[in-house]
Amino acid sequence: MKICVVGMGYIGLPTSSILATHGFEVIGVEINKTIIDSVEKGRTEIQEPGLSIIVKAAVRSRGLKCQETTPDADVFIICVPTPINQDKTADLDYVIQAGNMIAPRIRNGNLIILESTVPPGTTRYVLKPILERSGLSAEKDFYLAHCPERVLPGNLLNELIHNDRIIGGINETSAQMAKKIYETFVEGNIYLTDTDTAEFVKLMENTYRAVNIALANEFALIAEKLDLNIYGAIDLANKHPRVNIPRPGAGVGGHCIPIDPWFIVEKAPDLSKLITTALKINEEMPEHVISLVKDAFDEAGKKINGSKVTILGVAYKSDVNDARETPATPIIKKLTDLGANIAVYDPLVVRFPITIEKDLQKAVFGADAIVIVTDHSELKSLDLTTIRPLMKDNPILIDGRNIFESAEGFIFRSIGRSTTTP
Ligand code: SAJ
C-alpha cells in the first residue's frame, strides 16, 4: 500500500518513518528543499531519541522517499502546521494548500487523514469541499478522517507508538479504514468517533494543560506576594490523590499549548472565559520575569540600560532544540528595549534570530545578570561558583525555572519564591 504524507516536519517525518519501517511504501511531500535533501540522505535536524536511526532505516530500505510533488497514493496523511493569525484565529492556509495538492490525485477508494490540529468543523467544512473538487464525493467515492497527533516533543517516538489514539471519521468506514493504518504501529488503544469530536478532543487536551499551567503560574504570583515558596507548596498539594499541579515558570511556549486553545476561543468567544484568562496569564509570565529583573537591578544599585544580560536557554522547554514561541523572545525584546546588551546561551538550539553562544563561560563573561529561561538538563547542573567570578560585581541571577533554591553571592530572584525566606 502506498501512503503519501504531506508535510515532513515534527509529526510527518516520524510518522512516515514508522510507516515505512512497517512495510508501507511512503512518499513524503515537502515544500522546504533543505528538508527534502536531508530526508533523501536519511538525516533529520529534529533531535528526538531514536528518530535519526529510524529515518535512516526507512530511507535505506527504500520505504521512504521525499519530494516536492504530490504522487498518486492509496492513503494521504496531512501533517502540516496550523499556526495562529494576528487576530488569534487558526491559520488554515497549509491545510487548504495540502487539500488542493491532494484533490487532483484522489481516486476511488482513497483515504485522506488529517493529523494537523484544527478548529472543530475543519475536516468536514473546510477540507472535505476542497477534496471534492476532484469530482469525487466523500463517503461515497473516497474516505476522510481526522486523527490528531498527540506526541510529546522530547519523547516523540515512544509516544507515537504507545499513546492511545482518537480517530474521527466522516463516516464509520472512514474511521475503520484509518484505524487499520494506525494499528500497524500503535500499541495503545484506538478509539473511534466523528471528525468534529476528534478535533475538539485534541483541543481540549492542550487547553487542559494550558489552563493548569496558568493556575500554577497564578499560584506562583500569589506566593511571591504572600512571601512563601510555591514549589514546596505545590509538592505538598500534589500529595493529595486528586491534585496534580504543574510547574510555574518563565512562560509557556511551543507550537501547541499557547496556540491551540485559541482555536476553541475562536469558535465560542463568549463562552471561553476561563480559557482566555488562562492564556493571558501564561502570556504575561515573561513580563513578570522582567519585573524580577528590574527589582534585582534596583537592589544591586545598577541600571539595566547599558548592562549585559545573559539569557540561559532559549528552547521553549527543557532538552529540546525547538525555540518556537519561546518565552525567551518577549523577554529578550523587553530587555533590549530597556537598553540591555543581550548574550544568549543554549546547548541545543541552533536556529534563533540572535546568535547563540555555544561556550557558556564566554556567554556569561562580564554579565551583570543572568536569566534562566529553559531548564535544560545541562543548566540544572550549573555550578554557580564557577560562573560568579566571570560576572561583574553584584551579579544578579533570575531563575525562571526553579533550578536553584538560593544563590550565594548573587542578588537572586526566582518565580514563585520569596526573596526573604529560603
Ligand atoms: N510548561 C510549564 N510548566 C509545566 C509544564 C510545561 O511551564 O509544568 C511549559 C513548558 O516549559 C513549555 C510549555 O509549557 O514552554 C509546553 O510544554 P509541554 O511539555 O506542556 O507541551 P508540548 O507543547 O511540548 O506538547 C504538548 C503535549 N500536550 C499535552 O500534554 C496535553 C503533547 O502531548 C501534544 O502532542 C503537543 O502539545 C502537541 O503537538 O499538540
DSSP code of residue 151 = P
For the CA of 374, the nearest atom of ligand 1? 11
152 lines ligand 1 (CB under 6 A): yes
* pTM, 2 dp: 0.96
* Residue 219, in any domain of the structure: no
Mean pLDDT of 153-171: 97
For the CA of 217, the nearest atom of ligand 1? 7
Residues 350 and 417 in one domain: yes
User: Which contiguous run of DSSP H or E holds residue 398?
Assistant: strand 396-399
Instruction: Please report the pLDDT score of residue 237 as a whole number.
Output: 98
* Residue 341, in any domain of the structure: yes
* Residue 223, in any domain of the structure: no
397 lines ligand 1 (CB under 6 A): no
Residue 392 has pLDDT above 90, yes or no: yes
DSSP code of residue 257 = T
Q: Which of 142, 174, 195 is where one domain is finished?
A: 195
Question: CA 44, CA 169: separation in Å to the nearest integer?
Answer: 32
Residues 238 and 190 in one domain: no
Specify the CATH number for the domain of residue 65: 3.40.50.720
Q: Which of 169, 195, 221 is where one domain is finished?
A: 195
- Band (pLDDT 50/70/90 cuts) for residue 418 is confident
Residues 275 and 368 in one domain: yes
Mean pLDDT of 249-276: 98
Give Cβ neighbours of residue 339 (< 8 Å, ≥ 6 apart).
303, 304, 305, 306, 307
Question: CA 265, CA 276: separation in Å to the nearest integer?
Answer: 7
Q: Which of 141, 173, 195 is where one domain is finished?
A: 195
Residue 421 has pLDDT above 90, yes or no: no
* Residue 375, in any domain of the structure: yes
Residue 302 has pLDDT above 60, yes or no: yes
Closest C-alpha to ligand 1, atom 39: 256
Mean pLDDT of 244-262: 98
Residues 49 and 97 in one domain: yes
252 lines ligand 1 (CB under 6 A): yes
* Residue 48, in any domain of the structure: yes
Mean pLDDT of 105-125: 98
81 lines ligand 1 (CB under 6 A): no
For residues 136 and 106, is the Cβ–Cβ distance under 8 A? yes
For the CA of 320, the nearest atom of ligand 1? 24
Instruction: Please report the pLDDT score of residue 420 as a whole number.
Output: 60
Instruction: Please report the pLDDT score of residue 13 as a whole number.
Output: 97
Q: Is the model more confident about 351 or about 121?
A: 121
Domain residue limits at 115: 2-195
Instruction: Please report the pLDDT score of residue 419 as a whole number.
Output: 73
Residues 14 and 161 in one domain: yes
Task: Return the percentage of the chain with pLDDT > 90, whole number.
Answer: 98
Helix, strand, coil shares of the chain as percentages rounded to 5? 40, 15, 45
Mean pLDDT of the chain: 97
Mean pLDDT of 97-125: 98
Instruction: For ligand 1, pick from 245, 281, 317 the residue to mutate: most ligand atoms within 8 Å of CB.
Output: 317
Residue 312 has pLDDT above 90, yes or no: yes
For residues 316 and 354, is the Cβ–Cβ distance under 8 A? no
Residues 134 and 248 in one domain: no
Q: Residue 53 corresponds to which cell in the numbers above?
A: 536511526
Q: How far is residue 98 from each of residues 31, 82, 89, measured CA to CA in Å?
A: 11, 12, 19
Q: How far is CA 196 from the centre of its chain?
A: 23
Q: Residue 218 corresponds to which cell in the numbers above?
A: 497564578
Mean pLDDT of 339-355: 96
Q: How far is residue 116 from each of residues 93, 239, 323, measured CA to CA in Å?
A: 12, 36, 20
Radius of gyration of the chain (CA): 24
Question: CA 72, CA 36: separation in Å to the nearest integer?
Answer: 18
Mean pLDDT of 239-266: 98
Mean pLDDT of 12-26: 97
* Residue 213, in any domain of the structure: no
Residues 345 and 273 in one domain: yes
Instruction: Please report the pLDDT score of residue 422 as a whole number.
Output: 44
Residues 17 and 119 in one domain: yes
Closest by Cα among 165, 150, 158 to 208: 150
Residues 170 and 238 in one domain: no
For residues 167 and 184, is the Cβ–Cβ distance under 8 A? no
Cβ neighbours of 373 (radius 10 Å): 30
Task: Return the percentage of the chain with pLDDT > 70, whole number.
Answer: 99
263 lines ligand 1 (CB under 6 A): no
> How many angstroms is it from 153 CA to the middle of ligand 1?
8
Cα-Cα-Cα-Cα dihedral sign, residues 114, 120, 125, 126:
negative
Instruction: For ligand 1, pick from 243, 252, 376 the residue to mutate: most ligand atoms within 8 Å of CB.
Output: 252
Residues 173 and 90 in one domain: yes
- Structural domain count, the chain: 2
Number of H helices, E strands in the chain: 17, 13
* Residue 220, in any domain of the structure: no
Cβ neighbours of 208 (radius 10 Å): 13
DSSP code of residue 143 = E
* Residue 128, in any domain of the structure: yes
Q: Residue 297 corresponds to which cell in the numbers above?
A: 537591578
Active site amino acids: 202, 256
325 lines ligand 1 (CB under 6 A): no
For the beta sheet containing 111-114, the strands, ordered from the edge strand earlier in sequence to the opposite edge, are: 64-67, 25-29, 2-6, 75-78, 111-114, 143-146, 165-169, 190-194
Residues 182 and 303 in one domain: no
Residues 259 and 403 in one domain: yes
Mean pLDDT of 351-376: 97
Residue 224, amino acid: E
